Amino acid sequence: MSLSLCFNCSSGETMAESLSRTLKAGSDDASTVYCEPCGNIPAEAFCSDCPEFLCTTCVEVHEKLRATRHHRLLRGTAMPLSHPSTATPVTVTAKFKRCPQHSDEELKFFCDTHDTACCMACTVLLHNQHNQCTVVYIPDVAKDYTTGPEYQQLTGELNKTQQLAAKHVTNIKEKMKKVDQLKNKKTTKLEKYRAEIKQFVDTRIDELTSQVNQLRDNDMDLLKKQLAKSKNIENKVATNLTKLHVCEQTPVELFTESKVTRHEVTQLQEDLADIAAKTKYQVYWVQKDDQMESVLKNKDGIATVELGKA
């Protein structure tokens, strides 16, 4: 942006007088007709149906909307210089931002040398030292800024940036969708893997449990048989003792019964020795698989998530 209006003091003119002269020159444009919707852009047409002054952009929108596309627009010399309803020029008081360095001052000036807006205090104190800065009154240079090359370039860059941002938004949303799809695919695979591992473990544990139960049943069958034999011998011994006690009053009978019983006792003792030899059960233990133990001890066991490039 090239600005030719310098804020250099003429001979005999003070800095304050130079600023005052520039402000007065800017105020001469008070009769300019501005776009009513936008406020600070010169009007290019007047809509006699609304009625409303419009800038070029608003005219384009006005002509596209179904509700206003058939309105009568007055342009050029046909456009009134004042609002028909008030017969006064349509003007909008410029809204200036506050200076970040001087809160009671407004940013009404622009230093072309430093490419920055400034207030009157900044202009006097910083931007006109040794008459090296070119400082202008913003309303003077803002009149044609809308149609100037700098603003056109800026809006063009913004439009390009907006399109690029929209492209990124679409691209990122698509990638987010793919991220979810990838997650669902891999978690489904892991759940299937979990089911396979669980089925394998359950089947193997059931097999081992069945084997343990069979060992127990075999041992119990053997012990039950020996238990029955032992109880039978116990009953026979009790019967023999009873017979002997009955014969104690008759020595002859006691002698004979004792001899018979003696042979039976010998056999019963042999039977008990056989029972003692057979009264055994199998000792067993569960031996864990070394490979499975290694997997269980490994924090990365079963599977791992490997990273790649999208």
Assigned token pair, 78: 């046909």
What is the pLDDT of the chain when averaged over all its residues?
83
Predicted local confidence at residue 85, as pLDDT: 66
Distances from the Cα of 214 to the Cαs of 203, 218, 278, in angstroms? 17, 6, 19
Cβ of 284: how many Cβ atoms within 10 Å?
A: 11
8 A C-beta contact, residue 87 and residue 109: no
**276 band by pLDDT with thresholds 50, 70 and 90:** very high
pLDDT tens-digit profile of 49-95?
A: 888 899 888 898 888 888 788 889 998 888 887 777 665 555 545 57
Give the separation between CA 51 and CA 69, rounded to whole angstroms: 14
- For residue 289, the one-letter residue type is D
The pLDDT value given to residue 181: 96
State yes or no: pLDDT of 197 exceeds 80. Answer: yes
Q: What is the mean pLDDT of residues 28-52?
A: 78
pTM: 0.49
User: Is the pLDDT confidence value at 309 over 80?
Assistant: no
**Contacts for 218 with CB less than 8 Å, ≥ 6 apart:** 282
**Model pLDDT, residue 119:** 87
Q: What is the pLDDT of residues 108-149, one digit of tens each?
A: 888 888 888 988 888 877 756 546 778 888 877 777 788 889
DSSP 18-63: HHHHHHHHHHTTTT--B-TTTSSSB--EEETTTTEEE-HHHHHHHH
Mean pLDDT of 219-228: 95
Q: How far is CA 199 from the centre of its chain?
A: 35
- The maximal CA–CA distance of the chain, rounded, in angstroms, is 171
Query: What tokens were used for 39?
Result: 């406020």
Cα–Cα distance measured from residue 59 to residue 69, given in angstroms and rounded to the nearest whole number? 10
User: pLDDT above 70 covers what percent of the chain?
Assistant: 85
34 to 44, 65, 74: CA distances (angstroms): 8, 21, 14
